[in-house]
Structure 1
Amino acid sequence: MSNALSPSPSRSWARAFGDLRAGYQQRELWAHLGWQDIKQRYRRSVLGPIWITISMAVTAIALGILYAGLFGNELEVQLPNILVGFIVWAFISGCVLEGADVFIANEGLIKQLPAPLSVHVYRLVWRQTLLFAHNLIVYAIMLVVFPQDLHWTDLTAIPAFLLLAVNGAWVALLLGIITTRYRDLTPITQSVVQLMFFLTPIVWIYDDILRNPDPAIAERARLAEFNPFLHFVEIIRTPMLGQDQHLRYWVVVLVITVVGWTLALVALRLFRSRVSYWV
């Protein structure tokens, strides 16, 4: 009887799942903090976070014109791929890069505010979701300039983004715990993300390389599928552009989701109580 009433040890699955549950229940807190993050960042700016959208659009248009010439594609094909790729990549890279510092950046709150660790993760993902919504302005303008052949089946972009957000949460949680203990991993993470940008079909079109008349090049191009970021980009970009969707991308993403959350929960179970000392 006494064992049943005794508190759970700090390293327990109950505490780990309880942290995630309690953090979600405080959604008014992290939703407000996430919105305030954006307001504070652009407090003296007239356009606010729209500057991020403008900057991304200008870069995407410039690269679209450049790579359309390099690959011999029509601008109405190359540019939409790059624009949507940039929008999706901005969310992914934001979750990874800011996730690596999610607890370090909130050192003051962690030490002073008795809140679950997951609050800071939810806050980060919510902030990136708001920025993603801002960037959809570019997507809406693109649909007017370059109309896409969209169908009802392309609404799978919605569950694809939800899956993206779920993965962003475990990445931020796992990376946040590890980099709080080992600070040298932060610049390494930044370098890896920068490298993966070029290895992921953001400015180049994967299917174009697969259709290369040289079978050797087409075969080597399939090595790109070992890049997990490719699958995350394609599950949402293809429906947003009305393109054919492939089941293998969804299967890979779902497997990564299960494995990633398993690792994140193990890390949360083992080190949740230590983060406040590490920061």
Structure 2
Amino acid sequence: MNDMPDLPQPPSRPTTGTEPVMRLVPQTGLSYFGRALHDITQGFHFRTLALTLAWLDIRLRYRGSVLGPFWLTGTTTIMIAAMGVLYSYLLNVDMHKYLPFLTFSVVLWSLASGVLREGCTAFTAASSLIHSARMPYTLHVIRVEMRNILVLAHNIPVVIGVFLWFHAAPQNLTTLLPACALWLVDCFFMIMLLGVLGARFRDTSPIVASLTQIFFFVTPVIWAPELMTIGQNWLLLDPFFPLIEILRAPITGDVVQVAVWPAALAWSALLAVVTFCLFARMRTRLAYWI
């Protein structure tokens, strides 16, 4: 006979048909693309949070500095003044026309190089936030894009000052708005593409940095495309040239070539399709890679 007292039993839970059940269903087929599209949609719902985080990133980057991010403005001014005098002499061009061209080109390239550089670490730099909170990955892409746009805003006064000093007036502004929209879309997909590649392959950052240096000299940034008397159409194979030209030509008053806009749209479409397919397939693995 057992003399041990009976232990109290936990109260039985009523059985209902609405109890929460965790369903782990593997993604197959088109579900990858549906979840990726849902991630992008949810990311834009958090755009205010992304802007706040981008602003805090800049505040922390220049914490303790007197001028803060305006060091970028001063550095850009000095660099453009030195390069403008030197290259206008070497290229034998009129400084009154060359310096506005150089100023806008360098400021625009600083945005492109910043997107390329920081896009490689878009997810790895936010690893602690990704592991601690369940948020869409697109939030971190928008955060990097917003941060680079805020940095670009600090260099806009340099462009305005140079254009006012040389009395250069923008022309043909009808295509400026769609060009800016295309730049925003391309920056978004470029950051997403490099973020996925950078999370999987840590060699992405030095490779992109090296390619950025090469494209800086190959792309018409410090030299005008009119200097190529033969073979200007080959410049359309450079993915940076048509995207820069559709935004630079209306500002500097140059005439946009007929094939520039189709080339820019073609490169943008290729970037968007490749990036979306890669993000849809690799999205579920990002948390493990970082």
TM-score of the superposition, structure 2-length normalised?
0.87
| Alpha-carbon spacing, 1:9–1:235, altered in 2? closer, same or farther (3 Å) | farther
- More helix, by proportion: 1
2:252 to 219, 226, 241: 241
CA contact (8 A) 2:126 2:140 kept: yes
Deviation at 1:238, TM superposition (A): 0.9
Q: 2:106 aligns with which of 86, 94, 105?
A: 86
- Name the counterpart of 2:122: 102
* Match 1:224 to one of 221, 235, 238: 235
**2:133 is matched with which residue?**
113
Instruction: Report 1:12-51 matches (<5 A).
Output: 12-51=32-71
Deviation at 1:112, TM superposition (A): 1.0
Change in CA separation of 1:31 and 1:72 when aligned onto 2, cut-off 3 Å: same
Question: Which residue number in structure 1 is paired with residue 189 of structure 2?
Answer: 170
* 1:155, distance to aligned residue in structure 2 (A): 4.6
Mapped contact 2:236–2:260 kept (Cα < 8 A):
no
Aligned pairs for 1:1-279 (under 5 A) are 9-10=26-27, 12-151=32-171, 153-210=172-229, 218-219=230-231, 221-279=232-290
Aligned residues: 265
What CA deviation, in whole Å up to 9, does each residue of 1:95-152 have, x standing for no partner?
A: 111101111111111111211111010011111111112211111101210122433x
Take 1:112 and 1:83, find their aligned partners in 2: how far apart are those partners?
42
1:103/1:180 contact within 8 Å kept? yes
Aligned-partner Cα distance in 1 for 2:79–2:233? 28
Q: Distance in 1 between matches of 2:170 and 2:109?
A: 21
Residue 194 of structure 2 aligns to which amino acid in structure 1?
L
| Percent identity (aligned) | 31
Report the Cα distance in structure 1 between the residues aligned to 2:81 and 2:176, rounded to whole angstroms. 23
**Aligned residue in 2 for 1:213:** none
Whole-angstrom CA distance in 1 between matches of 2:144 and 2:270: 21
What is the distance in 1 between the residues matched to 2:102 and 2:174? 20
Q: How far apart are the structure 1 equivalents of 2:139 and 2:25? A: 21
Tell me which structure has the larger Cα radius of gyration: 2
One-letter amino acid of the structure 1 residue matched with residue 216 of structure 2: F
Q: List per-residue Cα deviations over 1:229-269 (Å, max 9, x = no partner).
A: 11111111111112212342221111122111111111111
Runs of 5+ consecutive residues of structure 2 not aligned to the other structure: 1-22
Shift of 1:176: 0.9
**Higher-RCO chain (CA-CA 8 Å, sequence separation at least 6):** 1
Q: Residue 214 of structure 1 aligns with which residue?
A: none
Q: Is the 8 A contact 1:13 1:269 kept in 2?
A: yes
1:12 is paired with a residue whose SS is: helix
What's the secondary structure of 1:101's corresponding residue?
coil
Gapped runs of 5+ residues in structure 1? 1-5, 211-217
Q: Return closer, same or farther for 1:8/1:26 CA change in 2, 3 Å cut-off.
A: farther
CA–CA distance in structure 2, aligned partners of residues 145 and 260 of structure 1: 38
